Amino acid sequence: MGVGTPENLLESIGCGMDMFDCVLPTRNGRNAMLFTREGSLNLRNAAYKKDFSQIDAHCECYACRKFTRSYLRHLFLAKEILALQLATIHNLTFYLWLLREARTAIQERRFYTWKSSVLEQLGVEIPTV
């Protein structure tokens, strides 16, 4: 319960856990924080005001196919409920992608190398021992 961030999930999977329950993807989505394959975004930031790109260039969810970062930011600032719904759809799609990829990497016996590359892609600092 309560696990968690993408890095928490991958670390836990590496320890053998295979079941999770957490509000993070939906709660963060409702607060304009979206997970992408290049790291997370806070769409309330002014940097996205004129960013007409897809939320996550590699995601094929409804929110990414139909709306830009700029428009979703506008919806958040206007307090439109659609913003929360679209962000939730996207973040859940991201988590499903992440776990599907983890499952495939385990089946192909390359989980730890895949995990390192994904964490690097997500911009997560990997502690050195």
Q: Residue 5 class from Cβ within 10 Å (0-12 exposed, 13-18 middle, 19+ buried)?
A: middle
Binding mask 3-42 for Zn ion (x = CB under 5 A): ----------------------------------------
59: contact with Zn ion by CB under 5 A: yes
Stretches 31-39, 45-53, 86-94, 99-107: which one binds Zn ion (CB under 5 A)? 86-94
Q: Residue 124 class from Cβ within 10 Å (0-12 exposed, 13-18 middle, 19+ buried)?
A: middle
Say how many residues touch Zn ion, by CB under 5 A. 5
How far apart are alpha carbons 30 and 53 in whole angstroms?
A: 20
Residues lying near Zn ion in the complex (CB under 5 A) are found at 59, 61, 64, 90, 93
